[in-house]
Amino acid sequence: MNARQLLKTYGPAALVTGASDGIGEAFARELAKAGFDLVISARRADRLEALAGALRADHGVTITPLALDLTETGASRALLDAATAQDAGLFVACAGFGTSGPFLNADVDSELAMIDLNCRAVTEQAHLIGRHLVARGRGGMILMGSLLGFQGVGRAANYAATKAFVQVLAEGLRIELGPQGVDVLACAPGPVRSGFADRADMQMGAAVPARRVPRPSLRALGGRTTARPGLFTKLLSYSLAALPRGARSRILSGAMTDMTRHQDEPG
């Protein structure tokens, strides 16, 4: 659907988490361009305020920035209150992070924090915002998965597991909420050029620019279960699709080994 149809179907406002950079920022920019008022959330208040100012100036929309750590008690409720106040009809859950490298070498607190943000917080948000969307009679929800979430992946074992959780959650919610007027989509990109790789300590080669993720995802909302945005992601996804799950795991584990080989170097 075009921008006008998107706004008519899911407007007047949208809620985007993880909006301070990467895919979340790209979604915020795309939705503001389409005329949505926005509630944007991330931990970094300075980045949020800068983005809010730019979007107001460029598109004349109302922006409500919320600097929140979504793993903290009450954060998801704050998102709900802001979404309700703006009558947000679209929720885009981009907040999350990844880790990489040998699982047994990882800091377990960091791994558990990733589960808390990528899984527990997303579940809480989907529950609260989902009720809001059902109550208003229409809406949409995009949950951020990953190409890694369709099989186990060595040297990204826990991250891939969190994204498998999100993928399955989105698939189930699409069946449950669709008849109640709420469209649900899993967005499952491959490598994306954003701040993700730096935090996960990965060295990516080919990657999709973050700005290429929102538009095909928004077009897929309401029509498909999963979006795989970007030509590179599609080529990688379809080339792997015909292979047995174990073969996909070995191939992607090999790719992850290449992207994290620098972690094994001394010093």
Q: Which residues are catalytic?
A: 159
Report the phi/psi class of residue 101: left, alpha or beta, with left for phi > 0 and alpha for psi in -120 to 50.
left
- Cβ-proximal residues to 246 (8 Å cutoff; 6+ apart), any chain: none
Count the neighbouring beta carbons within 10 Å of the beta carbon of residue 132.
Answer: 20
CB 228 within 8 A of CB 212: no
Query: How far, in Å, CA of 80 to CA of 57, rounded?
Result: 26
> What is the sign of the dihedral through the CA atoms of 66, 68, 71 and 77?
negative
The answer to whether 9 and 33 have CB atoms below 8 angstroms apart is no
For residues 204 and 225, the answer to whether their CB atoms sit within 8 Å is no
* H helices present in 178-205, as ranges: 196-200
